[in-house]
């Protein structure tokens, strides 16, 4: 399995102060969309897209630097911007599912605060439910909190 040296997107955002400027958020969003599009082209739904399931990788950060006891990853992350060329990669495909073309599923799964309404209701859904989750992620990147909050998903 490929190592991503920058931890997950949630931790990345924490190091950046909790949110991103529009340019950085677009940079991340484009990479997420490309990854999801590659899955959808193969008729695979992720079904649990969230910042915890998106990994950050710094191709120019060597393993020697990363494992140096004096190296502070969070300080390094906070100094990175679009120009540094970091990458984001989709992870945790444990709930991913291949679906047949023009078919739907109804399994209740995912993380409620990123979950499309049709999934939360227990209705049939298709890979467009992943698009809802991407919208929630983009909102979170820009403002530092999710668009919907509740004590319960009902």
Q: Which residues are catalytic?
A: 48
Q: Could you tell me the sign of the dihedral formed by the alpha carbons of 30, 88, 133, 73, in that order?
A: negative
Distance in angstroms (rounded) separating the CA atoms of residues 154 and 14: 29
CA dihedral 103, 106, 109, 115 (to 10 degrees): 80
Place of tokens 């439910």: 129
């Amino acid at each position: 399995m490929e190592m991503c040296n920058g931890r997950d997107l949630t931790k990345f955002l924490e190091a950046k102060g909790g949110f991103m400027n529009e340019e950085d958020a677009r940079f991340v969003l484009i990479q997420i969309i490309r990854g999801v599009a590659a899955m959808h082209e193969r008729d695979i739904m992720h079904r649990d897209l969230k910042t915890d399931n998106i990994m950050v990788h710094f191709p120019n950060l060597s393993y020697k630097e990363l494992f140096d006891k004096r190296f502070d990853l969070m300080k390094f992350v906070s100094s990175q911007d679009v120009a540094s060329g970091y990458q984001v990669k989709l992870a945790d495909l444990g709930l991913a599912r291949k679906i047949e073309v023009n078919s739907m599923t109804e399994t209740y799964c995912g993380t409620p605060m990123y979950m499309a309404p049709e999934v939360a209701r227990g209705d049939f859904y298709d890979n467009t439910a992943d698009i809802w989750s991407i919208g929630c992620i983009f909102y979170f990147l820009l403002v530092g909190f999710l668009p919907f909050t509740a004590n319960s998903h009902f």
